[in-house]
Amino acid sequence: MKIKITGIGSYIPEKKVSNTDFSEHVFLNEDGTAFGYPNEVVINKFKGITGIEHRRYAEDQYTSSDLAFFASQKAIENAGIDPETIDYIIFAHNFGDVKSGTTQSDMIPSLATRVKNKLQIKNPKCVAYDILFGCPGWIEGVLQANAFIKSGMAKRCLVIGAETLSRVVDAHDRDSMIYSDGAGASIIEASDDETGMLAYESATYANDEANYLFFGKSYNPDLDPDIRYIKMYGRKIYEFALSQVPAAMKSCLDKSGLGIDDVKKILIHQANEKMDEAIIQRFYKLYDRPVPKDIMPMSIHELGNSSVATVPTLFDLLIRGEIENQSIQKGDVLIFASVGAGMNINAFVYRY
């Protein structure tokens, strides 16, 4: 038995924030000192490394569970199912519902429960719970759905990834320009044909790597040090990703029984364009192959890094033909892969 994605949907907020919108920000070094060059230089360097030109922020009246509800509605409609037949709602996020203008996280009740409530699902046997797995959360949710369905515990799952990272960033940290908001949702069911998940890989590195992403105080020493924001050691994450992600992808592909030439697209977490390109180059080098043209669809230029929402949103955009010069056909083999806080890595090989 295999599982497949029978419905997909995403919610991309309408509020568009350009790099130039950061021109008046007061960016500081970690020790609180000012940069020795203007913001124009900061922004140009940022774009050159990450590829990000724009990102989306959630409308003030919405939280992560709202975005997830919108994406879930689309996934349910796309699958053509009765939501009362969903056995599990698995909601991947990192910071819960954070209302606009605040920094406090709200996770009671769980965000999955909130989505179930918004969908008006009456069936008490539809079990709703959250997972915290960093940016790879949606993929991990799909792997959990795979386990539930193969074990006979479920026939149909709703797996969601949603986040509003714009509400947990330090405005004085230039890394704040990376993050964005959004939601992606998917219906997962058993596959009765040749399509679906063929193999998977998942791992947590929790020694020195555990704190590469963390909650820390603002770089502005005048602000309350007890208010925390998302922080990261970017160089360490970059080096970790390059050393570990290609190997995990290779292990996953080898377990599928397919070859590197069978792969049509790689949907990788949209964190940093240069990092993603380097990961793909190292992956193909493991097979002594050149990187094929257009193998890696990208959404980061316009949507930024929306954490758990990036991969399902990317898949939704790809299927709907909304990524320039990118398309997939029935039977194509895809690799989904992600890396993020934990440090966690996961991937799965999928026949569309």
Strand 333-340 and strand 263-268: the pairing is: parallel
Model-level pTM? 0.96
The secondary element (H helix, E strand) that includes residue 128 is strand 127-131
Per the prediction, the chain carries an average pLDDT of 96
> Which domains, ranges and CATH numbers included, belong to the chain?
2-193 (3.40.47.10), 198-351 (3.40.47.10)
Q: Using the Cα atoms of residue 137, residue 142, residue 146 and residue 148 in order, give the sign of their dihedral.
A: positive
pLDDT tens digits along 304-332 = 999 999 999 999 999 999 999 999 999 99
The pLDDT, as a whole number, for residue 103 is 81
Q: Is the pLDDT of residue 13 over 90?
A: yes
The pLDDT, as a whole number, for residue 102 is 87
pLDDT tens digits along 48-105 = 999 999 999 999 999 999 999 999 999 999 999 999 999 999 999 999 999 999 888 9
Q: Report the alpha-carbon distance of residue 196 to residue 6 in Å, rounded.
A: 9
Residues 6 or more apart whose Cβ sits within 8 Å of residue 282: 242, 246
Percentage of the chain modeled with pLDDT above 70: 100
Break the chain down into helix, strand, coil percent, rounded to 5: 35, 25, 35
Q: Is the pLDDT of residue 36 over 90?
A: no
The pLDDT, as a whole number, for residue 304 is 97
